[in-house]
Structure 1
Amino acid sequence: MSSSLIEQLPALFTASGAGRMALQDLDFQPLVTDGRVGAEIHRLYGTQETGADGPAAAIVRYLPGAEAQAHVHPGYELIFVLDGELETEDGTYGRNSLLVMEPGSVHAPRSPRGFTALVIWERPVLPA
């Protein structure tokens, strides 16, 4: 990602006193749940803090060619695409797109070109 593109992304802030977080400085870990291949995650908060069936939020990055197996959303999932292109069965979503996955919805996200997104899960997803 070029530095000029990084400057165009929304600023990230934390209320923990750590201040502003630069996207390029986030600690991404491999994300392999739901059969994901080529995905990475920087967790903002998760079920460790909110309980086994609680909400979670993260910055998720799919590298070019990444994909996930189909999964069910028992609660809402919000996906705000910060950069790149996310593909689902319903279409392709680019920068500044907001997807609202309703409870009971199923999708298998993928990205031939890669994308970075803020993802908020109301409840943990389940295999389809």
Structure 2
Amino acid sequence: MRINADFTKRVAVHFDETPWVASPAPGVERKMLDRIGEEVARATTIVRFAPGSAFARHVHDGGEEFLVLDGVFQDEHGDFPKGSYIRNPPTTSHTPAAAEGAVILVKLHQFDPADRTEVKTRITGGAAQQQLFQDRIETVTLQTWAPGQAVSLEVPGGAEVFVMDGSYIESREEFSRWDWLRMPPGSCLEATAGINGAKVWMKTGHLAQLTG
């Protein structure tokens, strides 16, 4: 399976225009943003857990990072409410579940094989920019843009921009809650926040290794 697999191209996925697709686990559905592979895949996905649903225990050979968008995501390591940002590096394992339901943004099989850095943090939302993670390859931040704010950002290593709240315009295209934009290496993000501003999760730098 290949979905938005050409990382040299700009890709936009709008949450309200994308269908839910059933997963192998009962009660778990997905909206696929990009994907290379079948059930074990390099993938970026919005996943919705119905109350009481769960996945079987599994090992993350290629690592996993996720952002909790709604509800409470759970595993044997704890409960992770809305706003939690977690990185589970290669060789880690868990049994994901959601007793009362949850929605997460998850990225699979996208870690450096030697990465062993675990992250468990929360979005605070007070500052204009909150750094969630950084290494020699990528930077992950939460950015808060004021109403009408113009944002200009060179992204030599590419970028992903996911709207947590509010909206913005880029290339005459509006992005609102849970919409996703991927920009290839060498791009420049030229965005204008909407009338209520925008809160976005952003990852930069990580796409250069896929297009070089």
TM-score, scaled to structure 2? 0.44
Deviations, residues 5-37 of structure 1 (Å, cap 9, x unaligned): xxxxxxxxxx33xx572x3443111011xxx22
- Higher share of residues assigned strand: 2
Q: What's the C-alpha RMSD, in Å, of the aligned pairs? A: 2.4
Question: Which residue in 1 is equivalent to 2:124?
Answer: none
Q: Which residue identity is paired with 2:19? A: D
Matched, 1:94 2:81: yes
> CA separation of 1:119/1:52 partners in 2, compared to 1, >3 Å: closer, same or farther?
closer
Instruction: Note the alpha carbon deviations across 1:61-82, whole angstroms, 9 max, x for none.
Output: 1011110100011011001001
Match of 1:29 among 21, 26, 46: 21
Number of matched pairs: 102
CA–CA separation in structure 2 for the residues paired with 1:121 and 1:20: 18
Matches of residues 33-44 of structure 1 in structure 2 within 5 Å?
Answer: 36-44=25-33
Tell me how far apart the structure 1 counterparts of residues 39 and 18 of structure 2 sit (CA, whole Å).
25
User: Which residue pairs with 1:63 in the alignment?
Assistant: 50
> Secondary structure of the equivalent of 1:46?
strand
**Partner residue of 1:107 out of 74, 82, 94:** 94
Per-residue CA deviations over 1:35-75 (Å, capped at 9, x if unaligned) read x2210011111115xx9976211111101111010001101
Which structure shows the higher helix fraction?
A: 1
TM-score under structure 1 length normalisation: 0.70
Quickly say closer, same or farther: Cα 1:113–1:24, change in 2 above 3 A: farther
Partners of 1:42 and 1:85 in 2: how far apart? Answer: 19
Q: Write out aligned runs for 1:7-18 (5 A).
A: 15-16=10-11
Return the letter of the residue paired with 1:78: E
More relative contact order, 1 or 2 (CA 8 Å, 6+ apart): 1
The percent identity for this pair of structures is 27
* TM-aligned CA distance change 1:52 to 1:68, over 3 Å: closer
Give the match's secondary structure for 2:52.
strand
| Structure 1 runs, 4 residues or longer, greater than 6 Å off | none
